[in-house]
Structure 1
Amino acid sequence: MSKVGRRLRFVLSDPTASLRTHGLQVTAQRLAVLRAVDSCPHITANGVAEAVRHEIGTISRQSVYDTLAVLVDNGMIRRIQPAGSATRYEGRVGDNHHHLVCRSCDRVVDVDCAVGEAPCLTPDDEHGFALDEAEVVYWGLCGDCRHVAS
């Protein structure tokens, strides 16, 4: 198993240990947010808030946003922001993958990079930057929406 695969399983299988490894205090809110992101890849902040409220009861929208920001800043989850679509969160971090987004229903699906290591694309002129990531979003209609449209 790759290093990335081990890291993903570690975060998702033992969120308490992962929070501690990242130097973060273990709280019910952080654990619930991690479980929400794990249970529904590409979940919106509103979706996280609903899942967390269902699990632990009352939590403010601001607490959800703050918790998501801390987890993103510490590399435990990833924030994706497809143009014209709600910001989404996922637990798949540390690898080189991209996303497919349905123009009709906003479904988001992971797709592995066909080119290789990150960054999988490099510009002609890097302008002195040390590149570490290239973000690619593919747009189209998912199979369900294609059938409805035809």
Structure 2
Amino acid sequence: MTSALDARQVLRGASLRVTRPRLAVLETVEALPHADTDSIIAAVRQDLPDVSHQTVYDSLRTLTASGLVRKIQPAGSVARYETRVGDNHHHMVCRACGTVVDVDCAVGETVCLTPSDAHGFQIDEAEVVYWGLCPDCRAPSGTASL
């Protein structure tokens, strides 16, 4: 998605009514992958100063339910949102600063991604979160610690 026109088409393609708040939220999540709700609200309010928290929350819920936005919530973290949907990518989270980055796929031996017993489930996704320290927090000048 690269423009407001594209965002309108994406909303219509998901059979959603095109509203200014939905457009603003979708474009913000596209521009700020892995942003939390407060960051999304602040960014949306730059274009729509009178938008309410509830309207942004409702837009995020609608966009997530329609599959246009993915909600992730690493353990101990607030919910974050991204428009990268439709693939089974994973995430890496910095324990110190909370930075989240995408990881395309687990490499090497990935036996743990195949359950020993699927209990009758038809599995379509495996979620993996890698934890560690980002390069900035690992740098000698960083003050972060485990």
> Does the pair score TM above 0.5?
yes
Map of 1:136 onto structure 2: 128
- Tell me if 1:54 matches 2:46: yes
| Alignment match, 1:111 | 103
1:43–1:88 CA contact under 8 A, matched in 2: yes
For 2:27 and 2:80, how far apart are their aligned partners in 1?
15
Within 5 Å, give how 1:1-150 maps onto structure 2: 9=1, 14-115=6-107, 121-147=113-139, 148-149=142-143
Q: How far apart in 2 are the matches of 1:122 and 1:11?
A: 39
Secondary structure of residue in 1 paired with 2:103: strand
Determine if contact 1:10/1:18 at 8 Å carries over to the other structure: no
Q: What is the CA RMSD across the aligned residues, in angstroms?
A: 2.1
User: How many positions carry a matched residue from both structures?
Assistant: 139
Larger helix proportion of the pair: 1
> Between the two proteins, what is the percent identity of the paired residues?
56
TM-score by length of 1: 0.86
Q: Is the 8 A contact 1:97 1:112 kept in 2?
A: yes
Instruction: State the one-letter code of the partner of 2:49.
Output: G
Name which one, 1 or 2, has greater alpha-carbon Rg: 2
Q: Is the 8 A contact 1:100 1:111 kept in 2?
A: yes
Instruction: Read off the aligned partner of 1:132 and give its amino acid letter.
Output: D
